[in-house]
Amino acid sequence: MEAEAFWVVAAGRGEIRRTSLGPVAPGTVRIAATASAISRGTESLVFQGRVPPSQTEIMRCPHQEGDFPFPVKYGYCTVGQVVETKAAALAVGTRVFCLHPHQTVFDVPASQAVPIPDGVPDRRATLAANLETAINALWDAPVLVGDRVVVIGGGLVGLLIALLAQAVPGTQVQVIEPMAARAEAAVDLGLTVSTADRALYDADLVVHASGNPQGLALGLELAGFEATVLEVSWYGDKSVPLPLGEAFHSRRLRLISSQVGSVSDRRRARRGHRDRLVTALGLLADPVFDALLAEPIAFAELPQAMARLSAMPVGRPAVTVSYR
Protein backbone atom coordinates (compact mmCIF):
# COMPACT_ATOMS: atom_id res chain seq x y z
CA MET A 1 0.00 0.00 0.00
CA GLU A 2 1.18 3.51 -0.77
CA ALA A 3 1.11 6.24 1.90
CA GLU A 4 2.28 9.83 2.24
CA ALA A 5 4.17 11.38 5.14
CA PHE A 6 5.36 14.85 6.13
CA TRP A 7 9.13 15.30 6.40
CA VAL A 8 11.25 18.24 7.54
CA VAL A 9 14.03 18.38 4.94
CA ALA A 10 15.86 21.63 5.82
CA ALA A 11 15.55 24.52 8.25
CA GLY A 12 12.12 26.01 7.63
CA ARG A 13 11.25 23.63 4.80
CA GLY A 14 9.06 20.54 4.72
CA GLU A 15 7.72 18.27 2.03
CA ILE A 16 5.29 15.40 1.51
CA ARG A 17 7.04 12.13 0.65
CA ARG A 18 5.56 8.86 -0.57
CA THR A 19 6.27 5.60 1.22
CA SER A 20 5.30 1.97 0.70
CA LEU A 21 3.80 -0.29 3.37
CA GLY A 22 4.35 -4.04 3.33
CA PRO A 23 1.95 -6.68 4.65
CA VAL A 24 0.56 -6.10 8.14
CA ALA A 25 2.72 -8.03 10.62
CA PRO A 26 1.35 -10.22 13.43
CA GLY A 27 0.35 -8.18 16.48
CA THR A 28 0.14 -5.05 14.34
CA VAL A 29 -2.70 -2.87 13.08
CA ARG A 30 -2.89 -0.65 10.00
CA ILE A 31 -4.40 2.77 10.64
CA ALA A 32 -5.77 5.32 8.19
CA ALA A 33 -5.27 8.76 9.69
CA THR A 34 -8.29 11.03 10.02
CA ALA A 35 -6.70 13.90 11.98
CA SER A 36 -3.44 14.91 13.59
CA ALA A 37 -2.31 17.90 15.60
CA ILE A 38 0.78 20.06 15.42
CA SER A 39 2.51 20.47 18.76
CA ARG A 40 3.61 24.01 18.00
CA GLY A 41 6.43 24.45 20.49
CA THR A 42 8.36 21.23 19.91
CA GLU A 43 7.54 20.84 16.23
CA SER A 44 8.51 24.42 15.47
CA LEU A 45 11.94 23.82 17.01
CA VAL A 46 12.30 20.63 14.96
CA PHE A 47 11.14 22.47 11.83
CA GLN A 48 13.74 25.18 12.42
CA GLY A 49 16.52 22.66 13.07
CA ARG A 50 17.01 23.78 16.67
CA VAL A 51 17.21 20.45 18.50
CA PRO A 52 20.53 20.57 20.41
CA PRO A 53 22.95 17.73 19.60
CA SER A 54 22.89 16.69 23.26
CA GLN A 55 19.11 16.08 23.06
CA THR A 56 18.79 14.22 19.76
CA GLU A 57 18.16 10.82 21.37
CA ILE A 58 15.89 12.12 24.13
CA MET A 59 13.78 14.07 21.61
CA ARG A 60 13.18 11.15 19.27
CA CYS A 61 9.45 10.44 18.96
CA PRO A 62 7.86 7.02 18.45
CA HIS A 63 8.06 5.88 14.80
CA GLN A 64 10.35 8.77 13.87
CA GLU A 65 12.33 8.24 10.69
CA GLY A 66 15.53 10.08 9.88
CA ASP A 67 17.75 11.91 12.33
CA PHE A 68 18.02 15.47 13.60
CA PRO A 69 18.44 17.94 12.21
CA PHE A 70 17.37 16.77 8.70
CA PRO A 71 15.71 15.01 7.02
CA VAL A 72 13.35 13.83 9.73
CA LYS A 73 9.75 12.60 9.97
CA TYR A 74 8.45 13.94 13.27
CA GLY A 75 5.15 14.32 15.16
CA TYR A 76 3.17 12.58 17.89
CA CYS A 77 -0.55 13.50 17.86
CA THR A 78 -2.38 11.29 15.36
CA VAL A 79 -5.93 9.92 15.35
CA GLY A 80 -7.17 7.34 12.89
CA GLN A 81 -9.25 4.26 12.22
CA VAL A 82 -8.08 0.65 12.12
CA VAL A 83 -8.43 -0.57 8.52
CA GLU A 84 -6.58 -3.89 8.86
CA THR A 85 -5.60 -5.87 11.92
CA LYS A 86 -3.43 -8.81 12.88
CA ALA A 87 -4.18 -8.37 16.58
CA ALA A 88 -7.20 -9.72 18.47
CA ALA A 89 -7.33 -6.70 20.77
CA LEU A 90 -8.41 -4.21 18.07
CA ALA A 91 -11.11 -4.70 15.48
CA VAL A 92 -11.36 -3.07 12.08
CA GLY A 93 -13.20 0.24 12.42
CA THR A 94 -11.88 1.05 15.92
CA ARG A 95 -10.93 4.71 16.36
CA VAL A 96 -7.53 5.07 18.02
CA PHE A 97 -4.96 7.63 19.14
CA CYS A 98 -1.29 6.99 18.31
CA LEU A 99 2.00 8.71 18.99
CA HIS A 100 2.93 8.79 15.31
CA PRO A 101 4.22 11.41 12.85
CA HIS A 102 1.92 13.01 10.28
CA GLN A 103 1.19 10.24 7.75
CA THR A 104 -1.87 9.15 5.79
CA VAL A 105 -1.65 5.40 6.53
CA PHE A 106 0.73 3.60 8.90
CA ASP A 107 1.29 0.40 10.87
CA VAL A 108 1.89 0.22 14.64
CA PRO A 109 1.90 -2.52 17.26
CA ALA A 110 -1.63 -2.90 18.63
CA SER A 111 -0.36 -2.04 22.13
CA GLN A 112 0.54 1.47 20.89
CA ALA A 113 -2.93 2.25 19.53
CA VAL A 114 -5.21 3.50 22.31
CA PRO A 115 -8.98 3.32 21.64
CA ILE A 116 -10.80 6.65 21.74
CA PRO A 117 -13.91 6.76 23.97
CA ASP A 118 -17.29 7.23 22.31
CA GLY A 119 -18.28 10.89 22.39
CA VAL A 120 -14.75 12.20 21.78
CA PRO A 121 -14.57 13.52 18.18
CA ASP A 122 -11.42 12.86 16.17
CA ARG A 123 -10.16 16.46 16.13
CA ARG A 124 -10.63 16.85 19.88
CA ALA A 125 -8.90 13.52 20.47
CA THR A 126 -5.72 14.89 18.84
CA LEU A 127 -5.29 17.02 21.98
CA ALA A 128 -4.49 13.91 24.03
CA ALA A 129 -0.70 14.19 23.77
CA ASN A 130 -0.68 17.82 24.93
CA LEU A 131 -3.21 17.06 27.65
CA GLU A 132 -0.82 14.33 28.83
CA THR A 133 1.81 17.05 29.19
CA ALA A 134 -0.60 19.13 31.28
CA ILE A 135 -1.49 16.17 33.49
CA ASN A 136 2.17 15.36 34.03
CA ALA A 137 2.91 18.99 34.91
CA LEU A 138 0.26 19.01 37.64
CA TRP A 139 1.56 15.71 38.96
CA ASP A 140 4.98 17.39 39.21
CA ALA A 141 3.54 20.46 40.99
CA PRO A 142 0.06 19.65 42.33
CA VAL A 143 -2.56 22.36 42.81
CA LEU A 144 -4.19 22.38 46.25
CA VAL A 145 -7.63 23.58 47.28
CA GLY A 146 -7.71 27.39 47.40
CA ASP A 147 -4.38 27.92 45.63
CA ARG A 148 -3.52 31.05 43.67
CA VAL A 149 -2.17 29.86 40.31
CA VAL A 150 -0.67 31.96 37.52
CA VAL A 151 -0.04 30.43 34.10
CA ILE A 152 2.26 32.53 31.92
CA GLY A 153 1.64 31.75 28.26
CA GLY A 154 -1.74 30.95 26.73
CA GLY A 155 -0.55 28.43 24.18
CA LEU A 156 -2.06 24.98 24.07
CA VAL A 157 -0.19 23.44 27.00
CA GLY A 158 -0.57 26.56 29.13
CA LEU A 159 -4.34 26.69 28.62
CA LEU A 160 -4.73 22.98 29.28
CA ILE A 161 -2.82 23.33 32.56
CA ALA A 162 -4.93 26.34 33.55
CA LEU A 163 -8.14 24.47 32.77
CA LEU A 164 -7.13 21.49 34.91
CA ALA A 165 -6.00 23.76 37.75
CA GLN A 166 -9.28 25.66 37.72
CA ALA A 167 -11.18 22.41 38.32
CA VAL A 168 -9.66 22.22 41.84
CA PRO A 169 -12.16 23.79 44.32
CA GLY A 170 -11.44 27.30 45.51
CA THR A 171 -8.54 27.99 43.19
CA GLN A 172 -7.89 31.41 41.70
CA VAL A 173 -6.33 30.86 38.25
CA GLN A 174 -5.00 33.62 36.03
CA VAL A 175 -3.55 33.28 32.53
CA ILE A 176 -1.05 35.88 31.34
CA GLU A 177 -1.34 36.15 27.55
CA PRO A 178 -1.02 39.29 25.39
CA MET A 179 -2.00 37.66 22.07
CA ALA A 180 -5.67 38.39 21.29
CA ALA A 181 -6.62 35.05 19.68
CA ARG A 182 -5.13 33.04 22.53
CA ALA A 183 -6.72 35.31 25.12
CA GLU A 184 -10.06 34.81 23.39
CA ALA A 185 -9.64 31.04 23.55
CA ALA A 186 -8.86 31.31 27.27
CA VAL A 187 -12.03 33.31 27.89
CA ASP A 188 -14.05 30.74 25.95
CA LEU A 189 -12.64 28.10 28.30
CA GLY A 190 -13.94 30.11 31.26
CA LEU A 191 -10.48 31.26 32.35
CA THR A 192 -9.43 34.66 33.66
CA VAL A 193 -6.94 36.38 31.36
CA SER A 194 -4.67 39.30 32.13
CA THR A 195 -1.54 41.04 30.93
CA ALA A 196 1.82 41.14 32.70
CA ASP A 197 1.23 44.58 34.21
CA ARG A 198 -1.93 43.33 35.94
CA ALA A 199 -0.62 39.93 37.01
CA LEU A 200 -1.54 38.25 40.28
CA TYR A 201 1.28 38.47 42.84
CA ASP A 202 2.01 36.18 45.79
CA ALA A 203 1.01 33.09 43.79
CA ASP A 204 1.26 29.61 45.30
CA LEU A 205 2.14 28.13 41.91
CA VAL A 206 3.42 29.82 38.78
CA VAL A 207 3.51 27.77 35.59
CA HIS A 208 5.66 29.16 32.81
CA ALA A 209 4.62 28.02 29.33
CA SER A 210 5.34 30.97 27.05
CA GLY A 211 8.68 29.80 25.62
CA ASN A 212 10.02 33.33 26.26
CA PRO A 213 12.77 33.72 28.90
CA GLN A 214 11.21 37.03 29.98
CA GLY A 215 8.10 35.10 30.96
CA LEU A 216 10.13 32.89 33.28
CA ALA A 217 11.69 35.98 34.87
CA LEU A 218 8.16 37.33 35.43
CA GLY A 219 7.20 34.02 37.03
CA LEU A 220 9.97 34.37 39.62
CA GLU A 221 8.67 37.85 40.40
CA LEU A 222 5.06 36.70 40.87
CA ALA A 223 5.77 33.68 43.08
CA GLY A 224 5.04 34.07 46.78
CA PHE A 225 7.11 32.92 49.76
CA GLU A 226 8.17 29.27 49.36
CA ALA A 227 6.09 28.98 46.20
CA THR A 228 6.85 26.79 43.18
CA VAL A 229 7.70 28.01 39.70
CA LEU A 230 7.11 25.19 37.22
CA GLU A 231 8.90 25.45 33.86
CA VAL A 232 7.19 23.57 31.02
CA SER A 233 8.67 25.55 28.10
CA TRP A 234 11.43 23.97 26.06
CA TYR A 235 13.95 26.34 24.49
CA GLY A 236 15.87 24.00 22.22
CA ASP A 237 19.36 25.44 21.74
CA LYS A 238 18.51 28.88 23.19
CA SER A 239 20.38 30.08 26.29
CA VAL A 240 18.10 31.40 29.06
CA PRO A 241 19.40 34.06 31.50
CA LEU A 242 17.55 34.27 34.84
CA PRO A 243 17.47 36.86 37.66
CA LEU A 244 18.39 34.54 40.52
CA GLY A 245 19.52 37.37 42.77
CA GLU A 246 17.16 39.82 44.48
CA ALA A 247 14.44 37.90 46.37
CA PHE A 248 14.91 34.46 44.79
CA HIS A 249 16.67 33.02 47.84
CA SER A 250 15.01 35.05 50.57
CA ARG A 251 11.59 33.90 49.33
CA ARG A 252 12.90 30.31 49.18
CA LEU A 253 11.43 29.70 45.73
CA ARG A 254 11.36 26.27 44.07
CA LEU A 255 12.14 26.27 40.36
CA ILE A 256 11.42 22.86 38.84
CA SER A 257 11.13 21.44 35.35
CA SER A 258 8.44 19.24 33.88
CA GLN A 259 8.72 17.13 30.73
CA VAL A 260 6.27 14.57 29.40
CA GLY A 261 8.84 11.97 28.31
CA SER A 262 8.87 10.45 31.80
CA VAL A 263 5.86 9.95 34.05
CA SER A 264 6.16 12.24 37.08
CA ASP A 265 7.96 10.60 40.00
CA ARG A 266 4.89 11.33 42.14
CA ARG A 267 2.92 8.76 40.09
CA ARG A 268 5.59 6.65 38.40
CA ALA A 269 5.24 3.71 40.81
CA ARG A 270 1.53 3.34 40.02
CA ARG A 271 0.97 4.88 36.56
CA GLY A 272 2.57 4.21 33.20
CA HIS A 273 2.55 6.15 29.95
CA ARG A 274 -0.53 4.33 28.68
CA ASP A 275 -2.44 5.00 31.94
CA ARG A 276 -1.71 8.70 31.58
CA LEU A 277 -2.84 8.73 27.95
CA VAL A 278 -6.06 6.88 28.79
CA THR A 279 -6.75 9.50 31.48
CA ALA A 280 -6.23 12.30 28.96
CA LEU A 281 -8.57 10.72 26.40
CA GLY A 282 -11.26 10.30 29.06
CA LEU A 283 -11.06 13.97 30.05
CA LEU A 284 -11.54 14.97 26.41
CA ALA A 285 -15.18 13.87 26.56
CA ASP A 286 -15.84 17.44 27.76
CA PRO A 287 -16.73 19.67 24.75
CA VAL A 288 -15.15 22.68 26.49
CA PHE A 289 -11.86 21.65 24.83
CA ASP A 290 -13.27 22.53 21.41
CA ALA A 291 -12.60 26.20 22.20
CA LEU A 292 -8.90 25.43 21.65
CA LEU A 293 -9.28 24.16 18.10
CA ALA A 294 -8.29 26.30 15.12
CA GLU A 295 -9.67 25.69 11.66
CA PRO A 296 -8.12 22.46 10.30
CA ILE A 297 -5.59 22.50 7.50
CA ALA A 298 -5.40 19.88 4.75
CA PHE A 299 -2.57 17.35 4.95
CA ALA A 300 -1.36 18.37 1.49
CA GLU A 301 -0.90 21.95 2.76
CA LEU A 302 1.21 20.94 5.78
CA PRO A 303 4.61 22.08 4.40
CA GLN A 304 3.35 25.63 3.79
CA ALA A 305 1.35 25.68 7.04
CA MET A 306 4.35 24.64 9.17
CA ALA A 307 6.43 27.42 7.63
CA ARG A 308 3.75 29.96 8.63
CA LEU A 309 3.15 28.55 12.11
CA SER A 310 6.81 28.32 13.08
CA ALA A 311 7.37 31.92 12.00
CA MET A 312 4.23 33.48 13.51
CA PRO A 313 2.18 31.53 16.09
CA VAL A 314 -1.19 33.21 15.54
CA GLY A 315 -4.78 32.03 15.96
CA ARG A 316 -6.29 29.41 18.22
CA PRO A 317 -3.54 27.31 19.77
CA ALA A 318 -4.60 23.80 18.64
CA VAL A 319 -3.85 23.41 14.94
CA THR A 320 -5.19 20.17 13.49
CA VAL A 321 -4.54 18.48 10.17
CA SER A 322 -7.35 16.89 8.13
CA TYR A 323 -6.75 13.76 6.04
CA ARG A 324 -10.16 13.64 4.34
User: How do residues 246-270 score in pLDDT, each as one tens digit?
Assistant: 889 999 999 999 999 999 999 999 9
pLDDT-based confidence at 237, cuts 50/70/90?
confident
CA-nearest of 13, 44, 45 to 238 is 45
Report pLDDT for 310: 87
- Among residues 304, 310, 316, the alpha carbon closest in space to that of 6 is found at 304
pTM of the model as a whole: 0.94
**Can you give the pLDDT at residue 181?**
87
Q: Please give the sequence-ordered ranges of beta strands (E in DSSP) within the chain, or none if there are none.
A: 2-10, 13-20, 28-38, 65-66, 72-73, 78-85, 95-98, 105-109, 114-115, 148-152, 172-176, 192-194, 203-208, 223-231, 254-257, 297-298, 319-322
What region, left, alpha or beta, does residue 278 occupy, with left being phi > 0 and alpha being psi -120 to 50 degrees? alpha
| For residue 227, pLDDT beyond 80 | yes
Please determine, for residue 200, whether its predicted confidence score (pLDDT) is greater than 80.
Answer: yes
| CA end-to-end span of the chain | 18
Query: Is pLDDT above 90 for 238?
Result: no
Residue 14 in this model has a pLDDT that exceeds 90: yes
Summarize pLDDT for 25-50 with one digit per residue, the tens.
999 999 999 999 999 889 999 999 99
Confidence of residue 311 (pLDDT cuts 50, 70, 90): confident
Tell me the per-residue pLDDT of 126-178, one tens digit each, with 9 for 90 and over: 999 999 999 999 999 999 999 999 999 999 999 999 999 999 999 999 999 99
- CA distance linking residue 142 with residue 137, whole number of Å: 8
Can you tell me the distance from the alpha carbon of 153 to that of 216, in angstroms, rounded to the nearest whole number? 10
pLDDT digits (tens, 9 = 90+) for 216-225: 999 999 999 9
Mean pLDDT across the stretch 227-236?
A: 94
| pLDDT of the residue at 206 | 98
- Strand pairing class (192-194; 172-176): parallel
Question: Which domains, from first to last, does the chain contain?
Answer: 2-127+293-322 (3.90.180.10), 139-257 (3.40.50.720)
